[in-house]
């Protein structure tokens, strides 16, 4: 497994989130509280982006730039499934590589936006009916 030390920290983060949820009786951790929990476990992380269901942190590990996504387990699992359903020849060209995921975390390469060739876009759109990405169909 790549980045095993980060994986161990991510499992610790999952446990911290579960403990928080037990004390608050349900729901999910508010994003501001989640950010503080993440920065406690990953002090070197930098908040990069956020969405309705996830926070994205930038991590540097040796020479690798990584994105650690943290959110509800359903959203993380949905991202992982969408990545696995992409055709392999397009997956590695247009999407950042996913290294591993835990219950509430997903580690992937920190990617930059890429131009999509017209014929590849047609194939991605045709596959979008099968692939749900973060609760929304790819369009």
Class of domain 4-85+97-113 as given by CATH: alpha beta
Candidate from 28-32, 64-68, 77-81, 129-133 with smallest mean pLDDT? 129-133
Looking at residue 45, its pLDDT comes to 94
Can you tell me the mean pLDDT for 29-50? Answer: 91
pLDDT band for position 127 (cuts 50, 70, 90): low
Which tokens go with 6?
């980060």
H-type alpha helices, the chain: 4-24, 31-41, 73-85, 88-94, 118-127
User: If pLDDT is split at 50, 70 and 90, which confidence band does 30 have?
Assistant: confident
Q: Which carries the bigger pLDDT value, residue 106 or residue 135?
A: 106
User: How many other β-carbons are positioned within 10 Å of the β-carbon of residue 124?
Assistant: 19
- Quote the CA–CA distance of 50 and 54 in Å, as a whole number: 6
137 with 129: CB under 8 angstroms? yes
What confidence score (pLDDT) does residue 131 get? 55
């Amino acid at each position: 497994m790549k980045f095993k030390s980060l994986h161990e920290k991510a499992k610790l983060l999952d446990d911290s989130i579960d403990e928080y949820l037990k004390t608050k009786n349900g729901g999910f951790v508010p994003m501001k509280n989640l950010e503080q929990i993440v920065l406690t476990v990953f002090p070197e992380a930098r908040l990069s982006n956020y969405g309705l269901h996830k926070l994205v942190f930038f991590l540097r590990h040796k020479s690798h730039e990584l994105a650690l996504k943290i959110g509800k387990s359903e959203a993380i699992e949905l991202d992982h499934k969408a990545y696995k359903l992409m055709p392999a020849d397009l997956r590695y060209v247009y999407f950042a590589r996913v290294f591993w995921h835990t219950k509430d975390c997903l580690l992937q390469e920190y990617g930059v936006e890429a131009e999509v060739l017209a014929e590849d876009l047609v194939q991605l759109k045709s596959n979008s009916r099968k692939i749900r990405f973060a609760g929304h169909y790819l369009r």
